[in-house]
Amino acid sequence: MSLPLRSNRVIPLLALLALALLWCLDFVSIQPNRIAPGSGLGLLAALGPVWALLLTGLLLACGLLALWSPRPTYGPILALVWLLLLQLPASLAWSIERHIGADLPYARVGIGAGCWSLLFLLGLLLIELQQRLGLSRVWLLGSAVVLALLLGWLAGQGWLEPLALLREYQSRRSQFAAALSSHLALVGAAVGASLLFGGAIALLLQRYPRAHKGSIGLLSFIQTIPSLALFGLLIAPLSYLSAQFPALQQLNIRGIGWAPALLALIAYSLLPIVRNTCVALQEVEAGVIESARGMGMSPAQVFLQVRLPLAMPLIIEGVRVTSIQAIGLTAVAALIGAGGFGTFIFQGLGQSAMDLIILGALPIIVLALLADGLFSLLGEGFSSGARR
């Protein structure tokens, strides 16, 4: 039987892949303590037949609704995906209730690859449905907030207390707060400085177009240097300057630490800012500029009231790319003592502690998604304002 032309193929494929990974990979792992190796449990062993069949039925329903409906009704599919997303924390709590008793006070429950795969694919399904239904990015951010609130409530009730990831966090609360502040400080300083310097460079390139090709080529060359190599190249000159000028030591500017990390992040962040700003300013229609001048506006008024607002959506897109890039690169800066969530990642690698690695990697992913959503919303707001 041939499939209807209007049927959606992406949703059934994602649902089928999620179902296969859910049954083939471990849903959770049980460790008697932090040191002893854990034993993985599949979906059926972790949750029991009723819960496992419920998850299977919900995934199958998502795929069938999209595959065999002549005109896929995305509303019911969205409701099913929401149920699947919200049941993940409940599934973990139920698995803990089934396998961790009072006789195992030091036991830990690790999140298995099947659970992580399901969460990732459900996220892709939400993005597909958001695009099909024409929903705002606010809706996606709201979904993430609801999931986080549910996890927080379950953790507050003590139902997720044996979760290995939660125990790693509880034993490192102060370190986590310090890593968050240093990570955000480095990213904010790098993006702010690159926006300031990159904007100035873009304006100079508008005034001196002959330097455009060489400047973009130089910034592109910096992008090709591996991040760890660039961090290392900055150690020697900063160490020399710190030894020669005691005032720099008082500012904690040394060969390692935040100083080389910030300089490298700024260098990496300049290209998206400069390139997007140049393109945005050049794409403003000449007729609009001439109309503004015909109304008697000064050059400064034309730039601030006409050219810059029209160019702002593309400039914000450059800031979005820069922010996401800086959030990821800051993790590598932990190798030179800059702090941030990369500290947990490299500690976990050294100790072969997967949950400690996840404790560092998961906040980086969340920060990148938040930056993507917030700057996308800001760009959409400026786009709608420019159209009006």
User: What pLDDT, in 10s, does the model give residues 33-80?
Assistant: 777 777 888 999 999 899 899 999 999 998 888 877 655 678 888 889
- Per-residue pLDDT for 4 more than 70? no
pTM of the predicted protein model: 0.85
**What is the DSSP track for 116-178?**
HHHHHHHHHHHHHHHHHHT--HHHHHHHHHHHHHHHHHHHHTTTTTTBHHHHHHHTTHHHHHH
Question: Would you state the pLDDT for residue 70?
Answer: 58
Q: Please report, to the nearest 10 degrees, the dihedral formed by the alpha carbons of residues 153, 156, 159, 162 taken in order.
A: 130
For the stretch 95-128, pLDDT in tens is 888 888 766 777 888 888 999 999 999 989 988 8
Burial of 224 (0-12, 13-18, 19+ CB in 10 A): exposed
For the stretch 187-198, pLDDT in tens is 999 999 999 999
Residues 231 and 335 sit within 8 Å (Cβ to Cβ) = yes
Question: Would you state the pLDDT for residue 360?
Answer: 92
The C-alpha angle with vertex 117 and arms to 35 and 173, in degrees rounded to 5, equals 45
CA atoms within 13 A on the CB side of 272: 21
- Percent with pLDDT over 70 in the chain: 95
Domain range annotation of the chain: 10-170, 173-387
Q: Which of 66, 70, 54 is nearest to 15 (CA)?
A: 66
CATH of 173-387, one of 1.10.3720.10, 3.40.50.1970, 2.130.10.10, 2.60.120.10: 1.10.3720.10
Residues 199 and 271 sit within 8 Å (Cβ to Cβ) = no
- Per-residue pLDDT for 331 more than 50? yes
- Percent with pLDDT over 90 in the chain: 22
Cβ neighbours around 385 below 10 Å, total: 12
Q: DSSP class of residue 286?
A: H
Tokens of 30: 């049980």
What's the chain's Rg over C-alpha atoms?
25
Question: Would you state the pLDDT for residue 327?
Answer: 94
Mean pLDDT of the chain: 84
Distance, CA of 22 to CA of 57 (rounded, Å): 12
20's CB contacts (< 8 A; 6+ apart) are: none
